[in-house]
Amino acid sequence: MTYQVLARKWRPNTFDEVVGQDYVVKALKGALDLEKLPHAFIFSGTRGTGKTTLARILAKAINCTSSKKNSEPCGKCDSCLSIKNGSTIDFQEVDAASRRGVEETKELLDSVPYLPTSSQYKIYLLDEVHMLSKESFNSLLKTLEEPPEHVIFLFATTEIDKVPPTVLSRCVQFNLSAMKAEIISDQLKLIFDNEKIKYDEGSLTKLSNLARGSMRDALTLSEKVISFSEGKITEKKVEELMGLPSTELIQSLLKSVIERDSNMLVQNIQEVKSNFYDPEQILIDLLSLMQEIALSQFNDKIDQSDFFIQPQHLQLIYDLGISNLEYFKLSPKPESLLTMTMLKMIAFLPESSKKKPLNSNKNKIDFNWPEDFSNLDLTKLTAQLLSHASMIELQDSEIHFGINQERLNVITESQTNEVEEALSALLKRKMKVTFKISDLTDNPFEFERIKSQQESKQAEDDLKEDSSLSEMLEKFDGKIKKVSKI
């Protein structure tokens, strides 16, 4: 027996078997049940979404003679079988891509006035109708606007924008959407189970994503994998046969960016080159992973420990990747473009990118003393006293500060309350503050003093490197005066 490919074997024969196009099916069944059929339909959408299949099912339902429900063809009567086998002259399916000339269109239209031989309607299905020439469309217009009562036109196209508006205005239009990966995955699971094909969940996900909204593409890819899978389709086997990078490689690439690890990045890029992976697909997969992480940052229940990055910085590297994606079609060396894109992400990613995730654990206080001291809303006197305090311990709702005896003696209860209110506002929780005697010097005052010294030293070094300034100092016997902000 001749082998029949899955895409043909599992082509739907009734509306109930169609998946992923619920609103179109509902509209068609409603028109059939109410017996209010337009004289022309046009189905548009990307490849493999069911345009021609729906047109054939509609043709069967219109002329079916034995169905108990108007909206479903029985698939067994002479009319249904003849349409399926292509043996009836009352249903003509034309490939407009190969018969696009005006003479061929006129020849087709010459048969329109004649009554159907054994059916209620004569049905003309023109596939890829956008391929017709301008003259062919013009010859269709009059017939399409006022066809005989016994004629129905069905058109299918992947490029609806190339169909003249004058034709579209004479048809009822149905736009078929690309199928969601989940729907494709469920359908593949149903087919594999019925065909006794072993698989794992990862392989279904990979095949569904590779199909890019096309059920036919998903089944065609499945045929290829089945032929080489030795009894079971696995995620690894799909990756190998399709030349796809592993999930681990994509994750490693993103980690190398987040951790600003150029050495790890170079190793990953080398793996991309040695395995001849598609650099553009690598970047697309990387952007998809970033999107998943961005969505997970709004969910406290999802562990993000492997990709700990601030949301604004994640958006930054995502934008850099998106902006470079369009250049792959122009680049003579896609591998080099991928490398430069990744290095660009590292170059623009701030060193502080790993500090604050969007969904940080509410039980964990992200507070850096003395750096966050300047964010406290305090009066001048209280701020001056607290600037000499060192944080000894930070608990869930308590902070213990250390300060010398002299300053501890002058801190009032109202100032302590002021500090508690300021910390509670900053940390978004009720905080209790206590002061103890301590000689620790890790306080905001010392932090600012050291920071000022470093800035002054850096400024002095920069001035010394200025050759023109050095000449002026030497000429006028001048000196650089150090000035401290503290």
Q: Does domain 181-242 have CATH number 1.10.8.60?
A: yes
- Taking 70 as the threshold, does the pLDDT of residue 467 lie above it? no
What pLDDT was estimated at residue 464?
64
Domain segments of the chain as ranges: 6-175, 181-242, 247-348, 371-442, 446-476
State how far the Cα of 211 lies from the Cα of 225, in Å rounded to an integer: 13
Number of Cα atoms under 13 Å in the Cβ half of residue 112: 21
Contacts of 373 by beta carbon, 8 Å cutoff, 6+ apart:
386, 387, 444, 447
Annotate 331-362 with three-state secondary structure: CCCHHHHHHHHHHHHHHHCCCCCCCCCCCCCC
Q: 417-449, pLDDT tens digit by residue?
A: 998 998 888 888 888 989 888 877 788 888 888
What is the share, in percent, of the chain residues with pLDDT greater than 70?
Answer: 88
pTM of the predicted model as reported, rounded to 2 decimal places: 0.62
Query: What single letter denotes the amino acid at residue 469?
Result: L
Block residue for tokens 């004289």: 39
State how far the Cα of 400 lies from the Cα of 377, in Å rounded to an integer: 19
Residue 279: closest CA among 238, 331, 344, 227: 331
Q: Burial level of 44, CB count in 10 A (0-12/13-18/19+)?
A: buried
Q: Burial level of 149, CB count in 10 A (0-12/13-18/19+)?
A: exposed
State how far the Cα of 298 lies from the Cα of 302, in Å rounded to an integer: 9
Q: 39-91, pLDDT tens digit by residue?
A: 999 999 988 889 999 999 999 999 888 766 667 888 888 888 888 888 888 89
State how far the Cα of 266 lies from the Cα of 343, in Å rounded to an integer: 9
State how far the Cα of 206 lies from the Cα of 133, in Å rounded to an integer: 40
Q: 324-369, pLDDT tens digit by residue?
A: 888 888 888 888 899 999 988 888 887 655 544 444 344 455 678 8
CB 84 within 8 A of CB 60: yes
Fold topology of 247-348: Zinc Finger, Delta Prime; domain 3 (1.20.272)
Residue 48: closest CA among 215, 204, 191: 215
State how far the Cα of 22 lies from the Cα of 15, in Å rounded to an integer: 9
Q: Is the model more confident about 365 or about 452?
A: 452
Block residue for tokens 């086998």: 85
DSSP class per residue in 133-200? -HHHHHHHHHHHHS--TTEEEEEEES-GGGS-HHHHTTSEEEEPPPPPHHHHHHHHHHHHHHTT-EE-
Contacts of 460 by beta carbon, 8 Å cutoff, 6+ apart:
480, 482
Fold topology of 6-175: Rossmann fold (3.40.50)
Q: Does domain 371-442 have CATH number 3.30.300.150?
A: yes
Mean pLDDT of 270-294: 87
Which of 16-30, 242-256, 292-306, 472-486 has the lowest average pLDDT?
472-486
Residue 63: closest CA among 174, 154, 169: 154
- Taking 60 as the threshold, does the pLDDT of residue 301 lie above it? no
